[in-house]
Structure 1
């Protein structure tokens, strides 16, 4: 077994990981355009003598095969893409790519996983089973995780359990936030195209007003939250964009509504799709018009498996102390495509706090988002400790 002392990130490795993080932060790339990021990760793995596999165009995974007998196959995912945001942090290593920024901590996630790879590979003679470390492109886009799954990233051999983290500015620095069940919501998008019949505003009886129909749909959609959902279950139905009409004295014949739905259970997610489509079509029909609904399923909810989450929570308590571990009170209505992994494999996705008292703390996707790099060794140690202390020997009997 790997000793606790051996897995600690020493000063030399910590400084190297900070250097890596700063390079990644300075050279962000958008979803599915992470070619330089992929090449940089590959160059580090080559330098360390660690074999890797390119998956898709910009994804990479590393299999660390234990030399200490049979054991479970454990996966860890880190997202590598950035956002279309102009950075305003003023950091000396700010983004060199105009309008692109690591504003969601993915540079930290990637660095942490690189630290895990480095540490575990040096000690593979003490490992059982296999650890697959996945550097995933396109988390900020649609369907990236599912694309890797379709390409077989969970197979050959089959991955038994998946882990992931997200840096979290809503918790104190170094605090580990866990939750049982849903961690993030599903995220699905819809476009409702309302068709009426154009005409002159002076003769409305000869026309079918698409704006009036759309207003009725807008008023009715929130009832899917207030009247059709359990009051204790978080649900979002939101319209954020409307386009219609050409002049103030013309009855509009066409209006387009664009929105999103979010849910924390698969059942509610499925129901919302049906209800948005039926409600829109029925209201339009009642006014003599039509509604076509294009409903795009994007990310399922991230749902933590109880026994995997318990393993992570107990490991964090042993490593950092119970006071550094909190159970989150509610899921986030934000989304993460790690849900595609948690649908297929027992998983846990946890938060790692970055907020420092008396220092400004900006939310994810903010142009001034940043984090204290002392968080990097904490993430590395928690992943490794959870793997070696529980998951390496506990998958079969659920820890």
Structure 2
């Protein structure tokens, strides 16, 4: 473990250079063409074989050990966000209105650093390592298209690990979560239909706004009355539009919202209740309700034995006192979940916070940044995870 950590620290300057190069030139989801080219150039320098253009801009590298064995995959997301950076740093984004505000520049760098070390010691490795550089985590979700393109096959992936920089955790520590870590998501599109008439004569029409009020109240009862208090779910309605003028009974109202759940069972139950409410209440009041679901990401559920492996490696590398057990799942989403549906694995948090240096802002903030000391720690963790699993 000391040797792995030392090797990772030895390439710290290289890691910082690579990360800042990514940070200066951010690209949005499915537009990561220059980012992809930089990754391929670095893999060429290392002599690692790869396939590019997977699911549009994705890259998949492969390191073959000296002997046949299992295959472990590591994943890094590539895309940036449509945010104007306000950090005053030498490596500030040069692309107006775009910024690596969620640490994906660090994720790619850590995966490349991990590849660099593993490639140097591949003669001592039994098995294979796949390097998955995934596009569009922030937008359309590049994980599922990459899986459909076959990245978990040929050779078949037996386990997969991923990490995310964590501005809530001090640098030098990691956060691990057993079982349910991130929620699933669904976009809710609801339309309530009535019949317009003059506002002075409401009896002549069907008031879609009044019906909508009843529907909204009923939807809020799903979490409080249909889901166990020890489970977690969220039904949030973000937009509502209806009506044309103050003295006209509205003939239609449109609502958009989001559903977040932690288990497939709760997800299906909540969707069924939403459908029943949206269609049933308007019918009893003389109107009509329509519900269209846009399926989002699946819930991210870690495999406990793989979390144990990460925990063991973290304790050996960083010390038991630097391992944080996360007790509560996040209702945010992460499409690494799709990889975990195909192979066992674990997703964990890598501390990058440094209050003394003002590195305190959450992801998706225009002043988000990382303490770059986290880069060699991330590399050492991922190298250790690969070696431990393959052994």
Distance 1:159 1:278 in 2: 41
Three-state SS of the structure 1 residue aligned to 2:49 is coil
Unaligned runs of 5+ in 2: none
User: Are 2:8 and 2:377, in contact at CA under 8 Å, matched by a contact in 1?
Assistant: no
Deviation at 1:358, TM superposition (A): 3.8
Alignment of 1:197-212 (within 5 A): 197-212=195-210
Residue of structure 1 in register with 2:305 after alignment: 307
Structure 1 segments of 4 or more deviating over 3 A? 9-12, 357-360
Does residue 1:362 correspond to 2:364, yes or no? no
Deviation for aligned residue 1:311: 0.7
The Cα shift of 1:10 comes to: 5.4
Rounded to whole Å, the distance in 2 between the matches of 1:52 and 1:8 is 27
Q: Please state how far the C-alpha of 1:47 moved relative to its aligned partner.
A: 2.0
| Cα distance in 1, alignment partners of residues 128 and 157 from structure 2 | 9
The aligned counterpart of 2:272 is: 274
Give distance in 1, aligned partners of 2:98 and 2:250. 38
| Aligned partners of 2:176 and 2:349 also within 8 Å | yes
The residue that corresponds to 1:295 in the other structure is: 293
Give the Cα separation in 1 of the matches to 2:131 and 2:163.
13
Match of 2:215 in 1: 217
* 2:154 is the counterpart of 1:156: yes
CA distance in 2, matches of 1:161, 1:374: 27
1:396 paired residue number: none
CA distance in 2, matches of 1:172, 1:39: 32
* Residue of structure 2 in register with 1:249 after alignment: 247
TM, length-normalised to structure 2: 0.97
Say which SS state the counterpart of residue 11 (structure 2) adopts.
Answer: helix
2:41 maps to what in 1? 43
**Contact (CA 8 Å) 1:7, 1:119: kept in 2 or not?**
no
Whole-angstrom CA distance in 2 between matches of 1:64 and 1:47: 14
Cα distance between partner residues in 2 of 1:347 and 1:200:
61
CA RMSD, Structure 1 to Structure 2 (Å): 1.3
Distance (Å, rounded) in 1 between the aligned partners of 2:21 and 2:356: 27
Cα distance, 1:6 vs structure 2? 5.0
2:257 is equivalent to residue 285 of structure 1: no
In 2, distance between residues paired with 1:341 and 1:176? Answer: 21
For residues 1-399 of structure 1, the aligned pairs below 5 Å read: 4-5=2-3, 8-9=6-7, 13-54=11-52, 55-67=54-66, 69-360=67-358, 361-388=360-387, 390-393=388-391
1:11 to partner: Cα distance: 5.6
For the structure 1 residues 172 and 7, does the alpha-carbon distance in structure 2 shift closer, same or farther, using more than 3 Å as the test? closer
Classify 1:249/1:6 alpha carbon distance in 2 versus 1 (closer, same or farther; 3 Å).
closer
Distance 2:4 2:322 in 1: 22
Q: How many residues align?
A: 389
User: For 1:344, what is the secondary structure of its paired residue?
Assistant: coil
**For the Cα contact (< 8 Å) 2:5–2:377, is it kept in 1?**
no
Change in Cα spacing, 1:254 to 1:383, as seen in structure 2 (3 Å) is same
Q: Any conservation in 2 of the 1:193–1:256 contact (CA below 8 Å)? A: yes
1:218, distance to aligned residue in structure 2 (A)? 1.3
User: In structure 1, the residue corresponding to 2:163 is in which secondary structure?
Assistant: strand
User: Deviations for 1:165-209, whole angstroms, at most 9, x for unmatched residues?
Assistant: 011111121211111111111111111011111111011111111
Query: 1:39–1:190: structure 2 CA closer, same or farther, 3 Å change rule?
Result: same
Q: What is the alpha-carbon distance in structure 2 between the residues aligned to residue 26 and residue 132 of structure 1?
A: 27
CA distance in 1, matches of 2:323, 2:231: 25
